[in-house]
Amino acid sequence: MKRPFTLAGLTLAAALALTACGDADTGGEDSPATVSASAETTASPSASNAHQGMGDSGHQHNPDGGPAPGGIVDASDPTYPVGSTVTLTADHMPGMQGSEATITGAFDTTAYSVTYTPASGGDPVVDHKWVVHEELQNPGEPPLPDGTKVVLTADHMAGMEGAEATIESSTEETVYMVDVEANGMKMTNHKWVVESEVQPAE
């Protein structure tokens, strides 16, 4: 009587083993999605670095920022007039925060943080601070709401001009151009920092 019982037990064990293999196969089908998610997570710091101007060489700021865009209005009574020495609290790129800078322009406008893919190709530049309203193609009346799709005319970094972008946020603080040295790089007319990213020099 024991032998038939043992055969039945073996049959049951074999069935359970087959079921377990099926579960393992299902898990294997899920693994590409898991790898994909991991890849996206790994990629995001590079996008973050890019928006700070320190991704690949195509994302670095031009040392000479050039003149302010046409149509922008000078601030009538800025907290930090042209020629003021200030300390930056902005951290747009390595070495900027805490740097001493000289104000070279002060303007009344709307500044936008934008996410865009460079027109020349490459990784997305995420939450880039800042572009001003006058650096958008046919933008209409400011301020534009978050999520608005725009085309950039700014050329702060390679691939920016002509790129399609999405507005992440905006501010109507006074906007400044500055001469600053950050991370060993001297920049003239760096665009842009806003008033909350500036404090009196110590």
Residue-level pLDDT at 60 = 64
Residue-level pLDDT at 117 = 95
Contacts with 90 (C-beta within 8 Å, 6 or more apart), sequence order = 96, 97, 129, 193, 197, 198
Strand-pair category, 164-171 with 175-182: unpaired
DSSP string, 11-51: HHHHHHHHHHHHHHHHHHHHHHHHHHHHHHHHHHHHHHHHH
CATH no. of 57-200: 2.30.30.1210
Residue-level pLDDT at 49 = 36
What is the spatial distance between Cα 190 and Cα 156, in angstroms, rounded to a whole number?
8
pLDDT truncated to tens, each residue of the chain (202 aa)? 444 444 444 343 444 333 333 333 333 333 222 222 223 333 333 333 333 333 333 346 678 899 999 999 999 999 999 999 999 999 988 999 999 999 999 999 999 999 999 999 999 999 999 999 999 999 999 999 999 999 999 998 889 999 999 999 999 999 999 999 988 889 999 999 999 999 999 7
Residue-level pLDDT at 64 = 86
